[in-house]
Amino acid sequence: MTFELTKDYLDRIQTAIDIGDEQTLRAEMDELYPADISGILYELETDSARYLLSLLDRGVGAEILANLDESDRGKFIASFTSKDLAPFVDQMDSDDAVDLLNEQSIQVREEVIGLLEDREQARFILDLLHYDEDVAGGLMQKELVKINVNTNVNQCIEEIRQQAENVEKVYAVYVVDEAGKLLGFVSLKKIVLARKYAKIADIYEDDVVSVETYRPVTEVAEIMRKYDLDAVPVVNVQGRLLGRITIDDVVDVITEQAEDDLQAISGLSGEVEEDDTIWVRAKAQLPWLIAGAMGSLMAATVINGFQHELSKVAALAAFIPIIGSTGGNVGIQTASLIVQSLADTSGLTATLGQRLLRTLVLALLNGAVVGLIAGCYTLLIGEPRLFPVVGLSLLAVVMLASFMGTVTPLLLSKIGINPAVASGPFITTANDLIGIGVYFLIADFLLAEL
């Protein structure tokens, strides 16, 4: 039932564009959902894409522009004048319009707002531009149906009718008092089933979850997920209803957050995708690879400083990999669990002390197991004098890495940085470096012949 883009199909569309066959193109696009047309636009050259967009219904075009990835959209509308943009912005939901305008220069932004035909939309946009994009205010849309508590179901239906064009998905009608303060809501289902002259005051639900404009979007996402909400009203500190956030936007937030985490852990900077150009990918990969290389070269300096020890006990070199990788692995594991626990706001939060204590005990256990395994290996290769060196080093490395894996994401999250970065190559390399230092110091201390 869903559309799948093929090379053949794309070739046909490209040919139709090349010969300017508007009729075929209109007919083909008519069969597709806007999200599918976006998929086609991604694959076309900018000129072809623009031509195709110009053939579409303005509302469909607006929806497509609203849903393009930020980076692709930037490239795509780079050639648009403010006059080209305004008609699309006129048709967008206010939250999408603001997202798009926030990506433009201040000049373009103001020009476009000035050119909007829908003055209510212009007002909505000016309201929303105040908010940062990572708080509830920046995610909300102004389009919603609200009704005074002193009306009845019939008036409510009339209100829905008037707003029907603006508010694509209604979910519920919000109930407010004379001052615009949010009192509750009536679900659409209830309106369908209610008597025409039933008073809103008698049927509305006053038990409503709302969020304030300043709440971080990740918190909003967690709230909507936790309470299974389709839409959540956004209020100011006085409780006045200002807008609402719908679940589709939150799904996007969750998906992006997951991608950000994955990229942070993997050591990729910026938003990069597999099919980006080689140059874009190199720009995303190289900073971390270089940082990692620098760290490893610092480790090299440490190792070089112990050349005397290495020349006496050549087998010491053999354990450099296990020291390095164990520190990295433990650090990532621990940091990931903390990142995950930071994202989950239900239940009690552990104090730093409780966390560290638990981490310590666990590190002793993990370190002892890995240390013993490596220790047995020293016996296997006939170097029993290295048993205490390797065993103790691994114990120390696991404990240090567990500590860093616990503390770093907590610190990062405190100062507003994505804590998932703590699981990335930077921390892994740091653990690597510290581990090797600890290893050679312990060797120096324990081996009489050095």
Other C-beta atoms closer than 10 Å to the C-beta of 372 total 14
Per CB under 8 A, contacts with a copy of itself among 142-201 are 157, 160-161, 164, 169-170, 188-189, 191-193
Q: Which stretch binds a copy of itself (CB under 8 A): 4-12, 95-103, 115-123, 130-138?
A: 4-12
Q: Which stretch binds a copy of itself (CB under 8 A): 15-23, 50-58, 128-136, 265-273?
A: 265-273
Per CB under 8 A, contacts with a copy of itself among 82-141 are none
Q: What's the N-to-C CA distance of the chain in angstroms? A: 73
Pick between residue 126 and residue 379 the one whose CB is nearest to a copy of itself. Answer: 379
Q: Measured between alpha carbons, how far is 329 from 336 in angstroms, rounded to an integer?
A: 11
Query: Within 13 Å of residue 283, how many CA atoms lie on the same side as its CB?
Result: 9
- 198: Cβ–Cβ under 8 A, 6 or more apart, which residues? 152, 153
Query: 317: part of which helix (H) or strand (E)?
Result: none
Give the helix ranges, DSSP H, for 165-277: 188-193, 200-203, 217-226, 247-266
Kindly state whether residue 352 participates in binding a copy of itself, applying the rule CB under 8 A: no
Q: Are 230 and 246 in contact (CB under 8 A)?
A: yes
Among 318, 446, 447, 450, contact with a copy of itself (rule: CB under 8 A): 318
Q: Which stretch binds a copy of itself (CB under 8 A): 19-27, 79-87, 116-124, 370-378?
A: 370-378
Q: Measured between alpha carbons, how far is 437 from 392 in angstroms, rounded to an integer?
A: 13
Q: Please tell me whether residue 4 adopts helix, strand or coil conformation.
A: coil
Q: What x/- string results for residues 21 through 60 when contact with a copy of itself is judged by CB under 8 A?
A: ------------x-xx-xx--xx-----------------
Per CB under 8 A, contacts with a copy of itself among 388-447 are 420, 423, 425, 428-429, 432-433, 436
Q: Please tell me whether residue 251 adopts helix, strand or coil conformation.
A: helix
Among 10, 55, 115, 450, contact with a copy of itself (rule: CB under 8 A): 10
Among 26, 80, 285, 356, contact with a copy of itself (rule: CB under 8 A): 285
Q: Are 56 and 29 in contact (CB under 8 A)?
A: yes
Query: 174: part of which helix (H) or strand (E)?
Result: strand 172-176
Q: Which residues pair with 175 in a beta bridge?
A: 147, 184
- 445: Cβ–Cβ under 8 A, 6 or more apart, which residues? none
Among 20, 347, 353, 416, contact with a copy of itself (rule: CB under 8 A): 347
Q: Which residues pair with 211 in a beta bridge?
A: 234
Pick between residue 148 and residue 166 the one whose CB is nearest to a copy of itself. Answer: 166
Q: Are 172 and 185 in contact (CB under 8 A)?
A: yes
Pick between residue 113 and residue 211 the one whose CB is nearest to a copy of itself. Answer: 211
Kindly state whether residue 340 participates in binding a copy of itself, applying the rule CB under 8 A: yes
Kindly state whether residue 358 participates in binding a copy of itself, applying the rule CB under 8 A: yes
Per CB under 8 A, contacts with a copy of itself among 197-256 are 208-212, 223-228, 230, 235, 247-248, 250-252, 254-255
Per CB under 8 A, contacts with a copy of itself among 294-313 are 294-297, 299-301, 303-304, 307, 310-311
CB of 310 to a copy of itself, least distance (A): 6
